[in-house]
Amino acid sequence: MAAQAQTIEVPTDAELLQAQADLWRHSLYYLSSMGLRCAVELEIPTAIHRLGGAVTLPDLMSALSLPSAKMPFLRRVMCVLVTSGIFAADSDSGSEVIYRLTPLSRILVHGVVADEHHSQKYFVLGVTSPHYTEAAMGLAGWFKKDHEPPVPSPFEDIFGVPLCDDRTPLLDKELDDVVTQGLAAHDNLGIATVMRECHDLFKGLDSLTDCGGGDGTTARAIIKAYPHIKCTVLDLPKVVDKAPTDGVVTYVAGDLFHSVPSAQAVMLKLVLHFWSDEDCVKILAQCKKAIPSREEGGKIIIIEIVVGPSLGPIMFEAQLLMDMLMMVNSKGRQRDENEWSKLFTKAGFTDYKIVKKLGARCVIEVYP
C-alpha cells in the first residue's frame, strides 16, 4: 500500500476563495432543483403566461393567492431562479422588478400545446420527487454492496422494484403516474424540430415501424408531414390498449425483444438508453430482422443522446447528468459515439451515420 501523504498542496488565496464558492454552489445545487420544483408546484410559469408574460412580484403573489407575508421569501427564490436562467427579470432603477418567461420556463407553462409538445411540468416533478432523490442519496451505500449480477439500480435496491415497471404502481401509484406523464412529455418534446430539421430522414420511405413508439405521437407527426408513409407502432399491450383507434397509425401490441413488425425502416426513439448493452444488442438484432437490405433502403433510425464534449460544457454536463439519472434509476445508460458504434457492430450492422445533432441528442441512421 502506498504511504499516506502527510502534506497537501496549499491553494493560493485566490484559489481557496474560488474553491469555497464552488463548494457552496456544488453542494447546494439541490436547492436550485427544489426552487425549480417549487416554481412548478406553484404553477409560476403558467401564472406569468396568463398574466401576459410579464409580472411584478405583487401581481404574481396575488395570481398565486399566496399570503402577503411570503412575498419577501418568494422574491429570494425568484432571484435564484432568474440567476439559473429559469425566469428573466428586468427593472428600471427604483421601480418594481418585472419577471418574464425564458425559453426554459415557457416549456413549463401548463395547459397549452406549443409546437406539438406539452408542458414539462411532470418531468420536473418526477426527477425531483422524494423517490428519485432518496435513490440518489443511497448511491454510496449501493457502491459498497457486493451485488450478484444482474446488479439492480440504486432505485431498485432501495425500493425493491424497478422504475417504469408493472410493479412500480404497487410501490407508489402517484409516483408511477407522475413518471409516466413526465416521460411522455419529455419524449415528445422536440418532435416538430426533428420534422423540420431532418427532411432526408423520411424521404423515400414507404413504411416505418416506430419500435417502443408509445401512444403514437411521433408516428402521427411523421404521417402528418409524409402522408404516404405507412406507420406502425410497436409497444407493450398495456400501452397499445390505450392508443387511439382512429386508424391513422397501425398499433401492434408485442415485445421488442421477440419480434418487430417489418418495414423499410425501424425507428428507436429514446428507447435504447433504458436498456443494458446486452439488451440493446438483442433489440437491435430484432430490428435488423424487420428491415430489408441497405440497397433496398433498409435502415434503423435512432434518436438518442450521443455523449461528448463537442457541443460545449453546458450540453455535455446535461448529457452526463442524464446518464447519471439512468444509472440511479434504471439499468440503462447514455452512450458516447464509440459505445454506440460497438453496439451496432455486435448486433450485425455494417455501418452508421450521425445525420443530425439536435441539441443534446443526435439522429443516427444504422445500416444492415
Ligand X SMILES: C[S@@+](CC[C@H](N)C(=O)[O-])C[C@H]1O[C@@H](n2cnc3c(N)ncnc32)[C@H](O)[C@@H]1O
Sign of CA dihedral 171, 175, 177, 180: negative
Q: Which of 118, 131, 269, 288 binds ligand X (CB under 6 A)?
A: 269
Q: Within 10 A of 127 (CB to CB), how many other CB atoms are there?
A: 21
C-alpha cell at 329: 434509476
| β partners of residue 362 | 304, 357
Q: Does 188 bind ligand X (CB under 6 A)?
A: yes
Q: Does 178 bind ligand X (CB under 6 A)?
A: no
CB 136 within 8 A of CB 154: yes
φ/ψ of 311, rounded to 5, equals -90, 10
Is the Cβ of residue 29 or residue 257 nearer to ligand X in the bound state?
Answer: 257
The Cβ-side half-sphere exposure at 119, using a 13 Å CA radius, reads 19
Is the Cβ of residue 131 or residue 269 nearer to ligand X in the bound state?
Answer: 269
Q: Does 176 bind ligand X (CB under 6 A)?
A: no
Q: Does 209 bind ligand X (CB under 6 A)?
A: no
- To the query of whether residue 273 is one of the catalytic residues in this protein, the response is yes
Window contacting ligand X (CB under 6 A); options: 71-79, 129-137, 212-220, 356-364: 212-220
Is the Cβ of residue 206 or residue 255 nearer to ligand X in the bound state?
Answer: 255
Cα–Cα distance measured from residue 3 to residue 68, given in angstroms and rounded to the nearest whole number: 61
Q: Does 131 bind ligand X (CB under 6 A)?
A: no
CB of 115 to ligand X, least distance (A): 15
Distances (CA, A) of 179 to 37, 163, 183, 243: 14, 9, 6, 18
Q: Is the peptide bond before 150 cis (omega within 30 degrees of 0)?
A: yes
Sign of CA dihedral 284, 338, 328, 148: positive
Window contacting ligand X (CB under 6 A); options: 2-10, 106-114, 241-249, 251-259: 251-259
Q: Does 302 bind ligand X (CB under 6 A)?
A: no
Q: Does 361 bind ligand X (CB under 6 A)?
A: no
CB 24 within 8 A of CB 32: no
Binding mask 9-48 for ligand X (x = CB under 6 A): ----------------------------------------
Tell me what percent of the chain is helix, strand and coil, each rounded to the nearest 5.
50, 15, 35
- CB-nearest residue to ligand X: 212
Binding mask 53-92 for ligand X (x = CB under 6 A): ----------------------------------------
Q: Does 236 bind ligand X (CB under 6 A)?
A: yes
Q: Does 304 bind ligand X (CB under 6 A)?
A: no
Helix (H, G, I), strand (E, B) or coil at 164: coil
Active centre residues (catalytic): 273
List interacting residues with ligand X (CB under 6 A): 183, 187-188, 212-214, 218, 234-236, 239, 255-257, 269-271
